[in-house]
């Protein structure tokens, strides 16, 4: 599947497999998200919160259900696109489409209603322990963080969010790579033919990578970037030391010349 370029799909791992989050969609925060609440009515339920009767389990987080949140899963041999939408400021609509192939060019069935994807689960006759929140990735800490962060941009009093150093680094790296990718593809669009950059062919729609390849590439990039920064600091330090030595020699020569004049 396609990864990490703006307008494409970004892969994230959950307990039940890979989730492909469509990052081209804009998340929307509605008035119903102003308060942390749940409702028995699916269409007006702005948050999901896991219910557990087990002891010694941390309080489950409030997970915002935001219009624009869209994931793609492979279940029962079929590719399913699930998206949260809204028909107004009060009601949520759950839209799902089933495709025959990974390119999603052959639509098998689609439906939109307010049942929190229950009809989808029944349609594909999904059995086992996997739940709809699992399918949507609503137990994934990274996804929860992203959704809560979006709500906090509108209602900053709801969540006490502190981004980890790792999360900040991933967010910064993703933004950097998106900008670099857009810049490269813009060059291709101008000349209307592929170009070669550092031995890599640049062409539409971008590079297709598996989650493992994306992870390895990100780690490799950060390692090389760190090495580059280290070398740059060493060069700067060497130049500073060189200037210091030159100034010291010049000063010594001046002192020697002054001493000769005095004698």
Q: Say what the pLDDT of residue 6 is.
A: 40
Please count the other Cβ atoms lying within 10 Å of the Cβ belonging to residue 202. Answer: 16
Q: Say what the pLDDT of residue 3 is.
A: 35
- Indicate whether 251 belongs to any domain: no
Q: Say what the pLDDT of residue 197 is.
A: 82
- Indicate whether 234 belongs to any domain: no
- Pick the closest to residue 103 from 136, 76, 81 (CA basis): 81
Q: Say what the pLDDT of residue 128 is.
A: 64
Q: Say what the pLDDT of residue 51 is.
A: 66
- pTM value is 0.57
End-to-end CA distance of the chain: 83
Which segments within the chain are labelled E, that is strand? 9-14, 17-22, 47-48, 63-64, 70-75, 78-86, 92-99, 107-113, 195-197, 200-202
Going by C-beta distance under 8 Å and a sequence separation of 6 or more, which residues neighbour residue 187?
Answer: 195, 202
Q: Sign of the C-alpha dihedral, residues 191, 194, 198, 199?
A: negative
Q: Say what the pLDDT of residue 53 is.
A: 54
> φ and ψ at 21, to 5 degrees?
-90, 125
| Euclidean distance between CA atoms 111 and 96, whole angstroms | 6
- Indicate whether 14 belongs to any domain: yes
* Tokens (6 digits) for 211: 């989650």
Which residue is associated with the tokens 């929140």? Answer: 133
| Euclidean distance between CA atoms 250 and 67, whole angstroms | 70
| Euclidean distance between CA atoms 75 and 63, whole angstroms | 23
| Euclidean distance between CA atoms 23 and 175, whole angstroms | 12
Intervals of the chain under pLDDT 50: 1-16
Number of domains in the chain: 1
Q: Say what the pLDDT of residue 13 is.
A: 46
- Pick the closest to residue 50 from 113, 144, 125, 159 (CA basis): 144
Q: Say what the pLDDT of residue 12 is.
A: 46
Q: With beta carbons less than 8 A apart as the criterion, state whether 29 and 148 touch.
A: no
- Three-state SS at 139: coil
Q: Say what the pLDDT of residue 1 is.
A: 32
| Euclidean distance between CA atoms 191 and 228, whole angstroms | 31
Domain assignment of residue 124, given as a range: 9-160
Q: Say what the pLDDT of residue 163 is.
A: 59
- Indicate whether 205 belongs to any domain: no
């Amino acid at each position: 599947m396609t990864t990490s370029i703006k307008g494409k799909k970004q892969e994230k791992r959950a307990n039940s497999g890979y989730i492909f989050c469509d990052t081209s969609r804009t998340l929307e925060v509605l008035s119903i998200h102003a308060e942390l609440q749940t409702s028995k009515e699916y269409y007006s339920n702005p948050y999901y919160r896991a219910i557990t009767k087990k002891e010694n389990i941390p309080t489950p987080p409030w997970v915002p259900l935001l219009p624009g949140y869209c994931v793609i899963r492979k279940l029962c041999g079929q590719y399913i696109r699930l998206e949260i939408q809204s028909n107004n400021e009060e009601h949520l609509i759950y839209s799902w489409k089933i495709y025959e192939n990974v390119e999603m060019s052959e639509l098998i069935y689609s439906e939109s209603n307010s049942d929190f994807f229950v009809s989808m689960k029944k349609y594909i006759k999904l059995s086992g322990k996997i739940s709809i929140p699992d399918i949507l990735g609503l137990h994934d800490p990274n996804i929860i963080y992203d959704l809560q962060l979006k709500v906090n941009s509108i209602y900053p009093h709801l969540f006490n969010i502190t981004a980890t150093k790792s999360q900040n680094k991933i967010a910064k790296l993703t933004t950097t790579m998106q900008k670099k990718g857009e810049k490269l593809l813009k060059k291709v669009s101008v000349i209307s033919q592929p170009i070669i950059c550092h031995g890599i062919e640049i062409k539409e729609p971008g590079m297709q990578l598996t989650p493992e390849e994306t992870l390895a590439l990100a780690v490799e990039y950060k390692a090389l970037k760190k090495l580059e920064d280290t070398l740059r600091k060493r060069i700067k330090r060497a130049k500073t030391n060189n200037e210091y030595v030159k100034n010291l020699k010049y000063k010594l020569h001046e002192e020697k010349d002054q001493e000769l004049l005095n004698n």
